[in-house]
């Protein structure tokens, strides 16, 4: 029966997605094994390495519906690997002993690694699609809130004003970089494996590289320059990439959680009845997607570290590190799909309270723009004197609750140089947004939507 959050009938569609589970299912993985064995037979038949009749017979029998998965489970437990069981079943299905030509010149890891890369290819398509949808959502938020002032925060304290569009555009820029990373890594990663026992293709003599090239062409994968049975940087790179992607999703969830706090209340997750409700506190509206994103992103990073452990393999065929990937890589993709799906849901329905953002800007009675005041006074008083004077006045704001602009206007040293109207403009957070809008525009210009 299901025992983990990734296969639980209750939790699985929270922490992952049906589409990603399908890619890493027993059925799909075995179907990839069969696709590779069929392609190998076809290629070797064309090249005259195995009889054409055998190639046709093997090709015709390599269908997932022909495989007894219960029997394959028993074969795998006995042998230790599933490939021999698959080959044995295909051999038994073929007429006239022609199945004996199946798996000609291949080794178990060739088929396993190539199938893994085919899973990675399909899984990255799903990741790519989610990244694209997240980028669309972030672009829409960046356009809509390009000029909406809010407090920028440093060490959880109000720092200087920014815009909400600036905040979302900085995240959009990260996903643009993720798209570029994905584009760049595909040629490096989507490379098959067909190298034989120790990687030299010795069993096929002088035909080995011809078979390898034709097989990879058949499977639409890159041809390896040399065997990579125990050189696992390709798999590690995939894990590192997904750790970066989900790390950005985790950043989004962290900011939204903090902005949803009662005392802040500037943005909220999408709402429907009972979502985020408490069993004991009827007033509460808890973050939900943020929590799932945080959990899944954290586990992706942990599993990515496991892939780096798997890279430390021994000699030409390893004794254990390889099997780490069997466990960690599917979980990384499954958890990534959950994190990205929850991120998309969060962003597509994000509720933004612009009034509350403005109220929070004003809660410090103007002190959030103390830097602007200091810089505005600098040409008249010198930067250091302006800093010290504004510092003292800010302490007075805290002590008395008097707005900053009133204390500035009442200060004789300042009023000699600036009128109250000038000071009011200087103390308006909406007038101290720097080049936020222009930076948002630069990021949006890179989107095709």
Q: Which residues are catalytic?
A: 278, 317
CA distance 122 to 129: 11
Nearest 10 degrees: CA dihedral of 45, 49, 51, 57? -50
Q: Are 105 and 54 in contact (CB under 8 A)?
A: no
Q: Are 36 and 211 in contact (CB under 8 A)?
A: no
* Gyration radius from the chain CA atoms: 30
CB atoms < 10 A from the CB of 63, how many? 14
CA distance 339 to 337: 6
Phi, psi of 391 (to 5 degrees): -60, -45
CA distance 42 to 214: 10
Q: Are 198 and 272 in contact (CB under 8 A)?
A: no
DSSP 3-state assignment of 200? coil
Q: Which helix or strand (DSSP H or E) is residue 157 part of? A: strand 157-163
Residue 448 φ/ψ region, left for φ over 0, alpha for ψ in the -120 to 50 degree band, beta for the rest: alpha
Q: Are 285 and 276 in contact (CB under 8 A)?
A: yes
């Amino acid at each position: 029966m299901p025992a983990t959050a990734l296969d639980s009938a209750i939790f699985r569609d929270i922490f992952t997605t049906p589409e990603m589970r399908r890619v890493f299912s027993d059925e799909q993985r075995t179907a990839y094994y069969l696709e590779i064995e069929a392609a190998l037979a076809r290629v070797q038949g064309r090249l005259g390495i195995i009889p054409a009749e055998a190639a046709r017979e093997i090709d015709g029998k390599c269908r997932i519906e022909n495989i007894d998965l219960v029997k394959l489970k028993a074969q795998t437990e006995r042998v230790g690997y599933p490939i021999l069981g698959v080959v044995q079943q295909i051999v038994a299905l073929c007429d006239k002993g022609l199945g004996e030509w199946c798996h000609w010149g291949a080794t178990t890891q060739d088929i396993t690694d190539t199938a893994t890369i085919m899973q990675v290819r399909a899984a990255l398509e799903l990741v790519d699609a989610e990244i694209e949808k997240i980028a669309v959502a972030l672009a829409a938020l960046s356009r809509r809130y390009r000029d909406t002032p809010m407090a920028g925060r440093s060490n959880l304290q109000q720092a200087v004003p920014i815009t909400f569009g600036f905040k979302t555009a900085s995240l959009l820029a990260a996903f643009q970089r993720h798209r570029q990373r994905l584009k760049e890594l595909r040629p490096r990663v989507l490379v098959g494996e067909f190298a034989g026992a120790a990687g030299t293709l010795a069993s096929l003599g002088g035909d080995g590289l011809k078979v390898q090239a034709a097989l990879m062409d058949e499977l639409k994968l890159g041809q390896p320059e040399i065997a990579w049975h125990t050189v696992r940087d390709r798999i590690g790179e995939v894990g590192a990439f997904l750790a970066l992607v989900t790390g950005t999703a985790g950043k989004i969830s962290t900011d939204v959680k903090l902005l949803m706090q009662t005392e802040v209340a500037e943005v909220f997750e999408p709402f429907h009845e009972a979502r985020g409700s408490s069993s004991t506190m009827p007033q509460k509206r808890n973050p939900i997607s943020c929590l799932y994103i945080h959990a899944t992103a954290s586990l992706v990073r942990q599993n990515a570290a496991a892939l780096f452990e798997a890279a430390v393999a021994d000699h030409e065929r390893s004794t254990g590190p390889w099997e780490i990937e069997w466990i960690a890589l599917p979980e990384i993709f499954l958890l990534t799909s959950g994190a990205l799906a929850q991120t998309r849901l969060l962003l597509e329905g994000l509720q933004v309270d612009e009034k509350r953002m403005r109220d929070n800007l004003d809660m410090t009675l103007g002190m959030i723009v103390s830097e602007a005041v200091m810089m505005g006074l600098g040409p008249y008083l010198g930067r250091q004197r302006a800093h010290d004077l504004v510092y003292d006045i800010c302490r007075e704001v805290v002590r008395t609750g008097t707005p900053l602009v009133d204390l500035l206007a009442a200060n004789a040293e300042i009023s000699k140089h600036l009128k109250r109207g000038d000071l009011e403009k200087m103390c308006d957070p909406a007038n101290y947004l720097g080049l936020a809008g222009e930076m948002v525009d630069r990021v949006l210009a890179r989107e095709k939507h």
